A = this chain, B = another copy of it.
Amino acid sequence: MNIQFKKGVLELCVLALLTEKNRYGYDLVNEISKNIQISEGTIYPLLRRLKNVGYVTTYLQESQEGAPRKYYKLTENGLKITGELKNDWFDFVKKVNGLLKGGGKDE
């Protein structure tokens, strides 16, 4: 899997998964890795960034299987941004595909 493709898109994937339900970091890694391989060293700094800019809030919850889980929940602003990012993404894909297919045809 091309590492470079992932840049910036992972943030969108995380946000999109959080629109469904609140999740904790380890869960996000497993969920995303079904499609796109990522590691924990990527997710945790990203989640902290999302919290710092106010897109998510967090709360702790005990687990019967190990260390307590830190759940991430989208804020209202985070939800709004997610929508915008999604549109940006679809738009970007369209433009790239245009370049790949048509080249730069003027006629």
CB distance from A20 to the nearest CB of B (A): 4
Number of A interface residues at 8 Å Cβ cutoff, please give it: 33
A49 to B96, CA, bound (A): 21
Q: Is A50 an interface residue (CB 8 A)?
A: no
User: By the criterion CB–CB under 8 Å, are B9 and A96 in contact?
Assistant: yes
> Given that A8-B5, A85-B2 are known contacts, is A13 also in contact with B100, CB under 8 Å in the complex?
yes
Chain A interface mostly = helix
Q: A103 contacts the other chain (Cβ, under 8 Å)?
A: yes
Q: Verify if A88 is at the interface (C-beta below 8 Å from B).
A: yes
Residues B2 and A92 in contact, CB atoms below 8 Å apart: yes
**Known contacts A36-B92, A93-B93; A99/B2 CB under 8 A:** no
Please give, as numbers and ranges, the residues of chain B lying within 8 Å of A11 by CB-CB distance.
4
